[in-house]
């Protein structure tokens, strides 16, 4: 596994990171904790040094899992976590957004304990809070960095204006947002801005929440706890309508003697040298398959072929429910 640096920050991480959310949240029942610990440590053994979690995943249980699994190798890994949601301590339910300075500090202290560490390597604002000036958010994280509790500041699903305002107060190391062969909106404004400012990009859902692997069809039945059950893009009719994209990706992968997942990840890696995708999985063989994408090299002609082949296949369905979309900064 090679290494990449997120923008001009100097933060070096593995070429591919691991999104840890699905181990305990969002995609159905949580993986048994011993199995999840084993998977995380297997990722480290295979060269992964970049692990992504958040207080809201669970809530709290994902950070605890990551903290337990990575404690023995803490000096070898980079841990990213997030703040920004108001969580009911009694029920664990989300009560909206909260990026008030005092809340950011409280989350940082709690996350440090759950992660069993003295410093958070990368601290993202999970969603932009319109009730709190981004300058106040950036200033609070700047203070946490000066105090040695945080090393780097990140944003998630933030728009260009917010990125610029935050970066003027405290340099932003990385932006985390969705980006993949079936969600290319960041190419219009986000990627040029990040390149200009020297900010790294961490695409989440780089495999289209599993759809680009080819393992999901119109007949797939999701667990009741799987958030894709309510995602418009994952309705049965939209899954059927989007099969053309997956079929074409499969043809391209077969010609390259790779899997569709590997081509999707290799395509992302080829876009910019400061892009570090964080695919997630609960299965060791899928982890190994995903990591194999780092060895797949796509030529300019192959990249053109992929772009041309997929350009005429419109993706059907919104990626978020209206309520979730309302939290995305633009």
Residues serving a catalytic function are 57
Q: Report the candidate in 14, 3, 12, 17 with the shortest Cα–Cα distance to residue 287.
A: 17
In angstroms, rounded to a whole number, what is the distance separating the alpha carbons of residues 162 and 135?
9
Helices (H), the chain: 33-45, 61-70, 101-114, 134-146, 160-169, 190-197, 236-241, 243-256, 260-271, 284-291, 300-311, 322-325
Q: Output the six-digit token pair for 16.
A: 């591919």
> How far does CA 256 lie from the centroid of its chain?
26
In angstroms, rounded to a whole number, what is the distance separating the alpha carbons of residues 310 and 200?
26
End-to-end CA distance of the chain: 34
The H or E element spanning position 18 is: strand 18-19
Q: Is the peptide bond before 26 cis (omega within 30 degrees of 0)?
A: no
Alpha-carbon distances of 323 from 96, 131, 133, 230, 319, rounded to whole Å: 10, 17, 22, 11, 12
Q: Output the six-digit token pair for 261.
A: 């997942």
Q: What share of the chain is helix, strand, coil (3-state, %, to 5)?
A: 45, 15, 40
């Amino acid at each position: 596994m090679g290494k990449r640096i997120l923008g001009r920050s100097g933060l070096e991480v593995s070429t591919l990171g691991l999104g840890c959310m699905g181990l305990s949240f969002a995609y159905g029942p949580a993986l048994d904790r011993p199995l999840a610990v084993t998977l995380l440590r297997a990722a480290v053994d295979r060269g992964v040094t970049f692990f992504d979690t958040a207080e809201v995943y669970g809530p709290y249980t994902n950070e605890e899992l990551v903290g337990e699994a990575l404690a023995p190798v803490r000096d070898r890994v980079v841990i990213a976590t997030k703040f920004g949601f108001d969580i009911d301590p009694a029920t664990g339910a989300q009560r909206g957004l909260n990026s008030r300075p005092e809340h950011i500090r409280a989350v940082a202290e709690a996350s440090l304990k759950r992660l069993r560490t003295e410093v958070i390597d990368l601290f993202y604002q999970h969603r932009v809070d319109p009730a709190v000036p981004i300058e106040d958010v950036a200033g609070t994280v700047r203070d946490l960095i000066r105090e040695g509790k945080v090393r780097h500041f990140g944003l998630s699903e933030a728009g260009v204006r917010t990125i610029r305002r935050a970066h003027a107060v405290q340099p932003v190391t990385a932006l985390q947002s969705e980006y993949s062969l079936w969600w290319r909106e960041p190419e219009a404004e986000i990627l040029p801005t990040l390149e200009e400012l020297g900010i790294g990009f961490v695409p989440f859902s780089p495999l289209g929440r599993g759809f680009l692997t080819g393992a999901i069809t119109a007949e797939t039945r999701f667990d009741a706890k799987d958030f894709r059950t309510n995602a418009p893009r994952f309705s049965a009719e939209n899954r059927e309508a989007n099969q053309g994209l997956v079929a074409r990706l499969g043809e391209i992968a077969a010609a390259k003697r790779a899997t569709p997942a590997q081509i999707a990840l290799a395509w992302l890696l080829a876009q910019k040298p400061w892009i570090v995708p964080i695919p997630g999985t609960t299965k060791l063989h899928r982890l190994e398959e995903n990591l194999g994408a780092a060895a797949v090299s796509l030529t300019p002609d192959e990249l053109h072929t992929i772009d041309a082949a997929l350009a005429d296949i419109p993706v059907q369905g919104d990626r978020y429910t209206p309520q979730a979309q309302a939290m995305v900064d633009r």
